[in-house]
């Protein structure tokens, strides 16, 4: 795969350790996504166990190969880890990751539910065991990943398969027979080999940014064609997922992509081209819906607007015209030299700020000032109360109150990794009576879940991982645009995580891309100063 700028350190050579890491990533980006043993019933458990097996093999393989290189006097010096101080140098992201893990260790030690905190058995398997594997994987991949085109190509191909299955399941077509025997409510909520609609949306917030940025930063014609196909599949997959969390990640992704691309005409040109492809793919979904006589699970309001509303044609036309104009002026040296990148960036930031402040104003108004006006379906978004966000409000309000009733140690370190079930158990009767859910094992926000279960220090260390990753990757993108391919899925995932949950199905991809961002950052800064 040809990138605009070399992606591997000039001094690096491809060895067995790199090979093990790359094949691990390839399996995670392909086989892992499709792996199931018993339809939907064990989807999360299957992928949890497979992730444990694959990552343990990665750890053992890298340690064994590194030991062999260390003992082999004839091995090239670059293969000897002990002779490379940069491998052991710690960046801000490294320190944040270690802090996150050690906070989880202390959380488990002070928890009243030590076994559950160790295994994550009463939650989404996000116990200390899984956090250890995330940490080990991060440090191995960030040190020994070596860019090979087949890895991202495999991710795009299998992402298209996942998206295709999601589309077919949306129209009640089950080519693999994995919906057979389930109730209508389960069939309507689940799709593909990934899981329910929230998990599918979470996955699309990883897949769509990768395909779009590959299309934008790569010059290789075949990769651009593959990425264009991936954009269409990923966008349609997001639309049929039918989860508002996915749209939060989607709009955050578009904002940051535009903010990055608008500074360079050639990136903006490809970004607008990618948008044209993306919005046009909704017409194919519309056509397929017509062929199926609209026999489907039904679109959510945002998805329905993006598929059936005539505004779609306006979006396609606007993006198409801007793309054409940018291609017509691409060889104009005067425009390219005097491109007003700072002015355009300021305008985009201002528009984003106005949008956020407008949303905050209306949310404040309908939550604290006007509590009675009927605002229809918007009350699920703009009026924060117990019913907000499919009764996420009930869990958020009561979960945070319970957290601040903890003693000092548990406020710092939480109740135990992924043990929200025990914290919220006193509210189960009311939850069942008012919302017909007998129980819940998460607060339905990754950040609040980390706050309650791993405390203030756990949440701060997790946020430090994310913020430092984004900062370092954007800085690296000045010299290596591949960093944008790796950081955009991190941004989109973290945006949707505000109202979504972590799972061993999709969250491993977050930490993989965090590790890939760190790898490129380290290569661009061989001294690895704390930046």
pLDDT in tens, 398-407: 999 999 999 9
d(CA 506, CA 195): 10
- Per the model's pLDDT, the better-predicted residue between 234 and 178 turns out to be 234
Task: Report pLDDT digits (tens) over 71-112.
Answer: 877 777 666 665 566 788 899 999 999 999 999 999 999 999
Tell whether the model's pLDDT for residue 528 goes beyond 50: no
Tell whether the model's pLDDT for residue 174 goes beyond 50: yes
In the prediction, which pLDDT does 2 show? 42
d(CA 56, CA 18): 16
- How far, CA to CA in Å, does 366 sit from each of 18, 99, 363? 55, 40, 5
Spell out the alpha helix ranges (H) of 262-370: 265-291, 301-308, 311-328, 333-337, 341-364
d(CA 371, CA 208): 38
Spell out the alpha helix ranges (H) of 145-196: 149-170, 184-189
Closest listed residue to residue 240, CA positions, set 181, 182, 284, 270: 284
In the prediction, which pLDDT does 531 show? 40
d(CA 58, CA 239): 35
CA 522 to chain centre: 22
In the prediction, which pLDDT does 316 show? 97
d(CA 105, CA 179): 39
Lowest mean pLDDT across 4-8, 48-52, 312-316, 496-500: 4-8
> Under 8 Å CB-to-CB from 78, ≥6 apart: which residues?
11, 12, 13, 15, 84
Tell whether the model's pLDDT for residue 164 goes beyond 90: yes
The residue-averaged pLDDT of 19-39 equals 94
In the prediction, which pLDDT does 34 show? 94
Task: Report pLDDT digits (tens) over 267-307.
Answer: 999 999 999 999 999 999 999 999 998 899 989 889 999 99
In the prediction, which pLDDT does 79 show? 66
The residue-averaged pLDDT of 172-192 equals 87
- How far, CA to CA in Å, does 418 sit from each of 43, 275, 291, 415, 430? 19, 38, 44, 8, 22
Q: How is residue 272 written in tokens?
A: 């607008």
Q: For residue 195, what are the β-bridge partners? A: 191
Phi then psi for residue 3, to 5 deg, are -105, 160
Contact 79, 69 (CB under 8 A): yes
**Band (497; pLDDT cuts 50, 70, 90):** very high
In the prediction, which pLDDT does 14 show? 82
Q: What is the rounded radius of gyration, in angstroms, for the C-alpha atoms of the chain?
A: 23
d(CA 186, CA 385): 27
The residue-averaged pLDDT of 391-417 equals 96
The residue-averaged pLDDT of 474-495 equals 95
Q: How is residue 307 written in tokens?
A: 């598929």
Task: Report pLDDT digits (tens) over 330-364.
Answer: 888 888 888 999 999 999 999 999 999 999 999 99
The residue-averaged pLDDT of 460-471 equals 98
Tell whether the model's pLDDT for residue 508 goes beyond 60: yes
Task: Report pLDDT digits (tens) over 416-458.
Answer: 999 999 999 999 999 999 998 888 999 999 999 999 999 999 9
Tell whether the model's pLDDT for residue 178 goes beyond 60: yes
Strand blocks (E) in 61-206:
190-191, 195-196
In the prediction, which pLDDT does 41 show? 72
In the prediction, which pLDDT does 15 show? 87
> Under 8 Å CB-to-CB from 39, ≥6 apart: which residues?
177, 178, 179, 180, 181, 182
Measured at the CA of 248, the angle between CA 245 and CA 249, to 5 degrees, comes to: 95
d(CA 453, CA 421): 10
- Per the model's pLDDT, the better-predicted residue between 164 and 74 turns out to be 164
- How far, CA to CA in Å, does 360 sit from each of 18, 208, 349, 363, 366? 47, 27, 16, 5, 10
Closest listed residue to residue 243, CA positions, set 518, 495, 517: 495
């Amino acid at each position: 795969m040809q990138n605009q700028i070399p992606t591997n350190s000039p001094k690096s050579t491809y060895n067995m350790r790199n090979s093990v890491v790359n094949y691990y990533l390839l399996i995670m980006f392909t086989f892992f996504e499709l792996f199931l043993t018993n339809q939907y019933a064990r989807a999360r458990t299957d992928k949890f166990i497979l992730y444990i097996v694959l990552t343990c093999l990665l750890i053992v393989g890298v340690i064994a190969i590194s030991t062999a290189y260390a003992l082999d006097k004839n091995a090239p010096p670059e293969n000897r880890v002990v002779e490379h101080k940069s491998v052991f140098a710690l960046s801000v992201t490294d320190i944040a990751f270690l802090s996150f893990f050690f906070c989880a260790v202390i959380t488990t030690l002070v928890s009243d539910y030590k076994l559950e905190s160790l295994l994550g058995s009463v939650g989404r398997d996000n116990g200390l065991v899984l956090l250890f594997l995330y940490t080990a994987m991060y440090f191995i991949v960030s040190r020994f990943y070596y860019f090979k085109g087949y890895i991202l190509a495999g991710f795009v191909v299998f992402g298209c398969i996942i998206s295709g299955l999601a589309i077919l399941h949306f129209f009640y077509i089950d080519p693999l027979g994995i919906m057979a025997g389930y109730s209508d409510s389960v069939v309507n909520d689940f799709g593909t080999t990934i899981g329910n609609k929230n998990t599918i949306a979470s996955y699309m917030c990883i897949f769509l940014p990768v395909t779009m940025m590959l299309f934008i930063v790569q010059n290789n014609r075949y990769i651009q064609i593959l990425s264009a196909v991936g954009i269409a599949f990923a966008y349609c997959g997001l639309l049929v997922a039918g989860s508002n969390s996915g749209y939060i990640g989607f709009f955050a992704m578009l904002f940051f992509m535009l903010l990055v691309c608008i500074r360079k005409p050639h990136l903006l040109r490809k970004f607008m081209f990618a948008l044209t492809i993306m919005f046009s793919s909704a017409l194919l979904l519309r056509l397929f819906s017509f062929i199926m006589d609209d026999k489907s699970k039904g679109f959510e309001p945002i998805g329905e607007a993006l598929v059936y509303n005539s505004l779609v044609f306006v979006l396609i036309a606007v993006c198409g015209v801007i793309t054409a104009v940018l291609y017509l002026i691409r060889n104009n040296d005067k425009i390219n030299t005097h491109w007003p990148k700072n002015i355009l960036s300021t305008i985009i930031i201002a528009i984003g700020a106005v949008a956020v402040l407008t949303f905050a104003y209306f949310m404040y108004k309908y939550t604290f000032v006007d509590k009675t006006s009927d605002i229809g379906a918007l009350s699920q978004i703009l009026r924060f109360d117990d019913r907000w966000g499919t009764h996420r409000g009930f869990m958020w309000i009561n979960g945070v109150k319970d957290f601040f009733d903890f003693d000092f140690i548990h406020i710092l370190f939480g109740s135990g990794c992924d043990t929200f079930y025990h914290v919220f158990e006193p509210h189960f009767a009311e939850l069942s009576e008012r919302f017909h859910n007998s129980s819940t094992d998460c607060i339905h926000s990754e950040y609040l879940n980390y706050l309650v279960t791993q405390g203030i220090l756990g949440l701060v260390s997790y946020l430090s991982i994310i913020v430092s990753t984004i900062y370092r990757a954007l800085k690296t993108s000045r010299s290596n645009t591949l960093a944008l391919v790796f950081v955009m899925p991190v941004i989109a995932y973290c945006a949707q995580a505000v109202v979504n949950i972590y799972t061993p199905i999709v969250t491993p991809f977050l930490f993989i891309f965090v590790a890939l961002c760190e790898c490129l950052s380290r290569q661009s800064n061989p001294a690895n100063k704390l930046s």
